Amino acid sequence: MSLIAAPPRLELRGITKRYPSVVANQDIDLVVQPSEIHALLGENGAGKSTLMKIVYGVVKPDTGSVFWNGQAVKIRSPAQARALGIGMVFQHFSLFDTLTVAQNIALALDQKQDMQALSARIVEVSNRYGLPLEPDRLVHLLSVGERQRVEIVRCLLQEPQLLIMDEPTSVLTPQAVRKLFETLRRLAAEGCSILYISHKLDEIRELCHTATVLRGGKVTGMANPQLESSKSLAELMIGKELPAYRRASTRALGEPSLVINDLSRATTDPFGTSLKHVQLSVHAGEIVGIAGVSGNGQQELLYALSGEQPGRREEVLIKGQEAGQLDAAERRSLGLRFVPEERLGRGAVPEMPLELNALLTGYANGLAPKGWIQYAKIREFSKACIERFNVKAGGPQAAAKSLSGGNVQKYIVGRELMLNPQVLIIAQPTWGVDVGAASFIRQTLLDLSQAGVAVLVISEELDELFEICDQIAVIEGGQLSPAKPVAQTSVEEIGLLMGGTRTSHVTEQRVA
């Protein structure tokens, strides 16, 4: 090492953090240079978020040292991290819904602010980086992309030397991702280092200069992502080869099994979205996907389809029968199976063991004849589900909340599939699920459609929808676009629909 070289912006040596049940980080070394965009790559639970919280002063490491611009530092609080010049954009936004943009930003700045001067600075900085914001709007009225802009501008106002981004693109449209990348490249060119956490390999290859790969809390490799393929990066990340999907080239489509007929719902929730004339049909043997940025009516549509909020008779047809007025149990008896977005709380009771969670939807299928629970049967059912779907759990008696998100999801999907669906509605099938389990769940859905089941997938992951769906529609502002065959559309086109005409219009005006 030569003497004239500038010291690394951030260097971690031997960082270890243990929790009672798990070692989140073990002996981690990481070096980030000035102006570098450095990817931190790993599956869920690999320890990425814990490591970043250590750098940001939210979590204290058990052992190890942190060097900032060559100086040893102990970062004890986020305020201290900010004072050093470290900014962080959280994966789950740390914004306050009922406050304005300017108030949210003021809360993250350490000195007392004159609100008018601050608003002027917000407008100035946000326009300079192409992230237009209105300081006086309430945050709950903003789209997800706009909320992220608030978080980024909040960091930029502190003129950071290191910006940590935790899975920033998971909620953005492809166009918004492109804009974000432009901003990040520009920041890096101005000398700011960026630590970019993600499991989206294409993005890392496009954006990052260096990658550090974590698995099971340890560093398992370093790579130059621009020289790797997505496949090789994935294999570094999961430590084994990635299976390829099997799908039949031709399938016979049956009758429409699920028809949504001019479904409109006004919402009473001020943070909700009203549904407007939603129209869609899913045939037997077909997978139809609904893409969209969250908060555009997905939640309301799911409630209307599952039967949690019944409506007019003719709004929903299940296998030709009018089912719009039926409750969830009655719809199940027609052959509908449903995997909700919220796994704990809606899909499973967190405190109950897995076997009793099987009973929740399986009671009508012989697990509780005449109201008497057959414990032997539910245990057998639950065991079979755990085995068939490769659920990592202590056994049928393990409480649902003791499982990781991905394993709960595998169990819930498994439970529904074992109850012989004819129509399956599944929301965010692989959200928070690791790469291996995600490809297993996707394959399961493909097999299911092959067997003649009508499958409706609501997801924010465009790649996933393009991988498994036959047709894709987009929900935006409570309206559903007509479904298009996957072969006749592109990520680009779907992304434009997801952004909606409204938002892109506003953005263009402000930039111009």
Considering only the stretches 3-11, 105-113, 281-289, 494-502, report the one whose residues sit in contact with other proteins under the rule CB under 8 A: 105-113
By C-beta, is 60 or 388 nearer to other proteins? 60
Binding of residue 245 to other proteins (CB under 8 A): no
Residue from 418, 411, 412 nearest 395 by CA: 411
Binding of residue 113 to other proteins (CB under 8 A): yes
Q: Which of 106, 142, 453, 472 binds other proteins (CB under 8 A)?
A: 106
Quick note: the x/- pattern for other proteins over 440-479, rule CB under 8 A, is: ----------------------------------------
The answer to whether the beta carbons of residues 260 and 458 sit under 8 Å apart is no
By C-beta, is 24 or 131 nearer to other proteins? 24
Considering only the stretches 86-94, 289-297, 309-317, 467-475, report the one whose residues sit in contact with other proteins under the rule CB under 8 A: 86-94
By C-beta, is 155 or 424 nearer to other proteins? 155
Quick note: the x/- pattern for other proteins over 124-163, rule CB under 8 A, is: --------------x-x-----------------------
Q: Which of 29, 62, 97, 206 binds other proteins (CB under 8 A)?
A: 97
By C-beta, is 86 or 258 nearer to other proteins? 86
Binding of residue 60 to other proteins (CB under 8 A): yes
By C-beta, is 35 or 94 nearer to other proteins? 94
Structure tokens at 239: 């430590």
Residue 40 DSSP SS3: strand
With the CA atoms of 188, 145, 87 and 204 taken in that order, what torsion angle do they form, in degrees rounded to the nearest 10? -50
Distances (CA, A) of 58 to 41, 80, 477: 20, 10, 36
Structure tokens at 350: 């967190």
The answer to whether the beta carbons of residues 344 and 401 sit under 8 Å apart is yes
By C-beta, is 37 or 81 nearer to other proteins? 81
Q: Which of 2, 21, 71, 98 binds other proteins (CB under 8 A)?
A: 98
Q: What is the 3-state secondary structure (H, E, C) of 49-73?
A: HHHHHHHCCCCCCCEEEEEECCEEE
CB of 50 vs other proteins, minimal distance in Å: 8
With the CA atoms of 431, 434, 436 and 438 taken in that order, what torsion angle do they form, in degrees rounded to the nearest 10? 0
What type of residue is 361? T
By C-beta, is 99 or 491 nearer to other proteins? 99
**Binding footprint of other proteins, residue count (CB under 8 A):** 29
> How far is it, in rounded angstroms, from Cα 78 to Cα 395?
40
Binding of residue 364 to other proteins (CB under 8 A): no
Considering only the stretches 106-114, 335-343, 387-395, 461-469, report the one whose residues sit in contact with other proteins under the rule CB under 8 A: 106-114
The answer to whether the beta carbons of residues 286 and 276 sit under 8 Å apart is no
The answer to whether the beta carbons of residues 304 and 265 sit under 8 Å apart is yes
Q: Which of 35, 94, 365, 504 binds other proteins (CB under 8 A)?
A: 94
Binding of residue 53 to other proteins (CB under 8 A): yes
Q: What is the DSSP letter of 447?
A: H
Q: Which of 23, 107, 334, 344 binds other proteins (CB under 8 A)?
A: 107
By C-beta, is 9 or 53 nearer to other proteins? 53
Quick note: the x/- pattern for other proteins over 259-298, rule CB under 8 A, is: ---------xxxx---------------------------
Q: Which of 25, 37, 90, 163 binds other proteins (CB under 8 A)?
A: 90
> How far is it, in rounded angstroms, from Cα 18 to Cα 217?
10
Residue 140 DSSP SS3: helix
Instruction: Compute the C-alpha angle 216/217/223, nearest 5°.
Output: 90
Structure tokens at 256: 């429409």
CB of 92 vs other proteins, minimal distance in Å: 9
Residue from 102, 23, 24, 30 nearest 66 by CA: 30
What type of residue is 265? R
Largest CA distance in the chain: 82
Query: Is 311 buried (19+), middle (13-18) or exposed (0-12) by CB count in 10 A?
Result: middle
By C-beta, is 76 or 505 nearer to other proteins? 76
Binding of residue 58 to other proteins (CB under 8 A): yes
Quick note: the x/- pattern for other proteins over 62-81, rule CB under 8 A, is: ---------------xxx--
Among the residues of 190-247, which ranges form H helices? 201-207, 230-238
Structure tokens at 329: 């149990």
Binding of residue 112 to other proteins (CB under 8 A): yes
Polymer length of the chain = 512
Binding of residue 8 to other proteins (CB under 8 A): no
Binding of residue 108 to other proteins (CB under 8 A): yes
Phi-psi group of 460: left, alpha or beta (phi > 0 → left; psi -120 to 50 → alpha; rest → beta): alpha
Binding site for other proteins (CB under 8 A): 53, 57-60, 77-79, 82, 90, 93-99, 103, 106-108, 112-113, 138, 140, 268-271
